Copies of this chain bind each other. A is one copy, B any other.
Amino acid sequence: MSFTPVQKINAYEIIVDQVEQAISDGTYGAGDRLPSERQLMADFGVSRATVREAMRVLQATGVIESRPGDPRGPVVTAFSPRVLEKSMAKLAQLDSVSRVELLQFRLLLEGHASLLAATERTDDELAEIARRGEDIADLADQPDVRFGERVNRFHQAIRRASHNQMLEICGNVVGGVMAEMIDRRLTSETDRSSRVRTSAHDARALVAAIRDGRAQEAAAISTGNIYRYYADDLSSEETRRLATMMESYGAQM
């Protein structure tokens, strides 16, 4: 016989749980309106302060949105990756998550996004990918535009064409975090222009591979490009930890 530890639950938590339950069992769906705070206060038999704390939590976790003055009450929001992004960004910036881990994870996501995009993409998506790819080359004449962000948009189009939402969202998060890191670090102009050149070149090759459905090649190009971007800064230990993964994609190191 085992005892389960008693965990005292605050009043506001009960409200949060009930609302989440009501949403997950379909009582409320995206776009529906919750009762007003004053109504909830009567329904749950608690004070308004307690209701408000519960609303704050639901709002912070991306479950509802509320706006002062709207007589229709708080609205149940459709899923948005905002919360996911924030917590993942926090994880990524954490000291305990090393650069290698982040890079490994990114290679993994981008590699497979390219792989899937090569077979799943529609023609419209291919066109969008190609357009974003050309945008990178244009960077050569635009010294003030952020490089990391532009490249990330290219990869974003690929992730979308993978037709896998989990992959897409997670990739967007990690890609966004790393793009920001790049733009914060990139200072030297000569360095920038050389990076623009190689990235634009890789992008064209990648677009071609995706166009022709050469999935493995697409993955190899994609991961190879990302890898080479960071290669200079890596220690030998870090390089070793990436080797197995790069090999699995058949990419050049």
Among the stretches A31-39, A101-109, A131-139, A142-150, the one at the interface with B is A101-109
Inside 8 A of A119's CB, which chain B residues have their CB?
Answer: 241, 244
Give chain A's interface residues, CB within 8 Å of chain B: 12, 49, 52-53, 56-57, 59-62, 79, 81, 83-84, 86-88, 90-92, 94, 96-97, 101-102, 104-105, 108-109, 112, 115-116, 118-120, 163-167, 169-170, 174, 215-216, 219, 241, 244-245, 247-249
Given contact pairs A115-B245, A116-B245, A165 touches B91 in the complex (Cβ within 8 A):
yes
Of chain B, the residue at the smallest CB distance from A167 is B105
In the complex, A94 Cα to B102 Cα: how many Å?
Answer: 25
Of chain B, the residue at the smallest CB distance from A89 is B84
Q: Which of B53, B87, B166, B170 contacts A102 (CB 8 A)?
A: B166
In the complex, A12 Cα to B123 Cα: how many Å?
Answer: 46
Q: Which of B86, B90, B96 contacts A165 (CB 8 A)?
A: B96
**Is the Cβ of A164 less than 8 Å from the Cβ of B105?**
yes
A190 to chain B, nearest CB (A): 30
